[in-house]
């Protein structure tokens, strides 16, 4: 230390000034370097802090968006469930309507078939009534020119009879003696009628010519009155 002091004192004034200046300059440069380094570190830390704050804000914003998206998704799922429920109800109603339509079509078909049957029955009834009317007209026409014979009418019970054996050949007015039933001559080829008095479908009397050998089949007692 004393050596440095003696050496410093041995320097000229000019050398002392230059040396001092150099020392001061070195000190200033050191201070400036320290200040610059400290300042850069402060600025860098400040920038990092700003970046972290921005990241926090962005993260918070993203979290809010995710929450809102989840809420919207929940709402959409709820609406979807409601719409699905409505669709299920509509599908059920659709099936019920289809069933009703099917039943209606079946009922309509049955109704149409019944109407057809009624029409056919009415046509058959009309044909029968016309046949009866024609028979009654013919009977009236025959009765106008019929003169009963003076001989007593004859009554045969229900059964099978042969003309020429059980009853004489001739022209007769036949009537039901009692009740009603079928009257056939020669298995229906010559006569096939229903005799009776209690229904419009029955004939109350009928004019026929019975020939020898004719076969009579009657299911009721029949009165035979000879006519001219």
The whole-chain average pLDDT of the chain stands at 77
Nearest to 177 by CA among 200, 164, 163, 159: 159
Question: pLDDT digit string (tens) for 28-50?
Answer: 555 555 555 555 545 555 666 66
Q: Which residue has the higher pLDDT, 93 or 171?
A: 171
What is the pLDDT averaged over residues 62-76? 82
Instruction: Return all residues near 216 (Cβ < 8 A) that are at least 6 apart.
Output: 156, 160, 161, 162, 163, 166, 167, 183, 184, 185, 210
Q: How confident is the model at residue 9 (pLDDT cuts 50, 70, 90)?
A: low
Residue 70, token pair as written in the block: 């989840």
* pLDDT number for residue 31: 56
């Amino acid at each position: 230390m004393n050596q440095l002091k003696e050496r410093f004192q041995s320097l000229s004034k000019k050398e002392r000034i230059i040396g001092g200046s150099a020392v001061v300059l070195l000190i200033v440069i050191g201070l400036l370097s320290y200040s610059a380094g400290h300042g850069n570190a402060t600025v860098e830390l400040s920038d990092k802090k700003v970046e972290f704050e921005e990241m926090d804000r962005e993260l918070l914003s993203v979290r809010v968006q995710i929450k809102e998206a989840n809420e919207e998704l929940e709402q959409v799922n709820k609406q979807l469930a409601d719409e699905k429920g409505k669709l299920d109800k509509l599908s059920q109603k659709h099936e019920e309507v289809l069933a009703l339509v099917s039943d209606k079509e079946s009922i309509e078909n049955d109704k149409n078939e019944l109407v057809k049957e009624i029409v056919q029955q009415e046509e058959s009834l009309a044909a029968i009534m016309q046949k009866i009317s024609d028979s009654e007209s013919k009977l009236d026409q025959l009765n106008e020119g019929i003169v009963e014979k003076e001989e007593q009418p004859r009554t045969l019970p229900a059964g099978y009879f042969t003309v020429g054996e059980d009853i004489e050949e001739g022209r007769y007015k036949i009537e039901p003696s009692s009740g009603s039933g079928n009257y056939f001559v020669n298995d229906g080829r010559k006569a096939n009628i229903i005799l009776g008095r209690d229904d419009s479908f029955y004939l109350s009397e009928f004019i026929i010519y019975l020939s020898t050998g004719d076969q009579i089949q009657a299911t009721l007692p029949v009165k035979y009155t000879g006519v001219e």
